[in-house]
Amino acid sequence: MRLTAEGLSAERGGDVVFRDVGFAVEDGQSLFVTGPNGAGKSTLLRVVAGLLEPATGQVRLAGGDGESDGVSGACHYLGHLNAMKHALSVAENLAFWQRFLGDAAMPVGDALARVGLGAIGHLPFAYLSAGQ
């Protein structure tokens, strides 16, 4: 797969947040986005994820079959504020989102096992590291 962005610009309240951003990321590569507070890093990621419309430019995802399409159906955005409740267990937090998503959601136990956290689902979410 190949993720590309060409000529991306974003605006907020009439002010330009960033202008003419472009990149290409191939399978197995990563993209490191850095900058000071307010530089537009989160806005860029929201545009790439399809959560915000760019003022200009486009983001494309080309699959292994050579077809190219939008990104929003193939990616998820998890910002630094993750909306998890620290007092609830890991499993309880996931159960909330499972109810919210309905039939589209994977069972909680299966989801925890899939990411290697099956043994700690009973722990408070606050015990997890950012990497977990």
SS3 letters for the chain?
Answer: CEEEEEEEEEEECCEEEEEEEEEEEECCCCCCCCCCCCCCHHHHHHHHCCCCCCCEEEEEEECCCCCEECCCCCCCCCCCCCCCCCCCEHHHHHHHHHHHHHHHCCCHHHHHHHCCCHHHCCCEHHHCCCCC
pLDDT at 66: 46
Q: Is the pLDDT of residue 19 over 90?
A: yes
| Model pLDDT for residues 46-103, shown as the tens digit of each residue | 899 888 999 999 999 887 554 555 666 677 677 766 778 888 999 999 998 888 777 7
* CATH superfamily, with its number, for domain 2-69: P-loop containing nucleotide triphosphate hydrolases (3.40.50.300)
Task: Give the residue extent of every domain in the chain.
Answer: 2-69, 90-127
pTM for this model (two decimals): 0.58
Does residue 71 contact residue 60 with C-beta atoms inside 8 Å? yes
